[in-house]
Structure 1
């Protein structure tokens, strides 16, 4: 990464005896779409609020293009902000809402009009300039909030779960629009969400937080395909977990055993004979076959139809459950509860997890 636009060093924020941020170190690249992802209480909104200047840090620093902004108030940080609840002024028209950041910066009237028109066209809302927020749908209000945040050319745009109040289809549409807008403008986006699919589909890089600490960071495909620990594997998408013992072999191919079932494992992680290991196995990496066709005998417990795919919950002897994801179009097996099946996987399908 070249010189970051934003650099966070050893950020700590305490609330009583709880560390809402616990030594966070993070560099944000110019023009990056960075997503802060985590469950409720993970620290993602606290981190965004600290970046915005709404809360102060107990320890650590923030630097914008190498200039310390740790003690600067929000209005002097030159960041745009889009909130979950839109935060539009109900007594102002759309045009007045979008122009408000420019007005408080005492920009000339002609410049305000030009920038407002450009911002509204950017979000395809030019025809709504004279309406009141109460006359707009939720998706339209969110577009206006975005236009307002972008009207003064902020150095960074901060977005705090901006789509969470919208219905599923509208959220999906606006995800495409936001991603397209980011690519057109080249502005740095720092985006907060608890929605894993949203993070995977939109981000250049994802930061996964838990208890105020970064668990793993990287591109969407890296985090999904190579989760570092059980929390990441279980939070970002779905995973099956296998406890196994290494019985032999040498890198990258090892022989393993789990509950009496031998199998091969291909991994770059160092393993030793006799070592106990934990593996994550994505549902779509499991094969579902007729009895005897695959490695592990199992019984179908439950089936969930999802349109183009179905989720099949199977139980192996001993009670261990596995979730299998498979397409619904032209399949060789139609899974139903009680059906005897078998499951298997390729040697390179599981991922070795770091100890928790």
Structure 2
């Protein structure tokens, strides 16, 4: 099986490369805006690389040439920073996704496995799980959610207009792993947050708690297994991918020895908005809105039709990430680069 992976240097892409390295019949073309340096080591060695800015219309012809003769594409590429430049994000995320589909059609690649998200869903319940039939209009106050829903709608139209194209959409929960510690700190917490210092001390004094702030996560290795199973299956459509239990303030507080403090959503919105506008944190209140709005996922279809079940529960995934944040962990890929402190320790 010959496949291409866009965004192959990122969080999920790195985990998927690790998993595919154990598959002797799989040949991988990695596509990224910033490719790993020569000698980056596993899991990046042994992969053919193609540098491309997917948001640039000029990428279409060379990308189609690279995709010719492949069996499938896994589309993971997605940009969430810089969050203050919405047009730039949509250029990569919306235009880039269209360019990938057009390049596949030009090259005759029949199968696409797309990295959708829990954020695709419209607001829903926190006291029960929903299946893939829940509406996918997104959460209006979250740019990430709106864009994920827009790409799914575009893919549904593409399947209708081009019956030769088969699309599988994996609606994953938040994907966590140790190697993403430095990246998640940069993208979501920012350089001013003393989180790594507090985690190294063994506790986080206070965690916000609200009945709507319940989200699901999945370990990157389990997400990678879902992508592999989707690649090897003839099933199409949407699949929920998440682990149990749902993560909330009390669970995080229990893991970190802190206090789950009840806080109103209005106050959290105000604080998040102010911190983003003053650039103290890199993400806007849309992420808070999405976390409070999206439903909890029922993953029965993935188990039934793909034979997928997570091997690590949500607590294990969270612990793995927190350990990575505490040490500033990463890899040799540009998006997952470790903090300078962690790099210095490794060199020493």
Q: Given the two structures, how large is their TM-score scaled by the length of structure 1?
A: 0.27
State the structure with more CA Rg.
Answer: 1
Q: Please state which structure has a larger fraction of its residues in helix.
A: 2
Q: Please state which structure has a larger fraction of its residues in strand.
A: 1
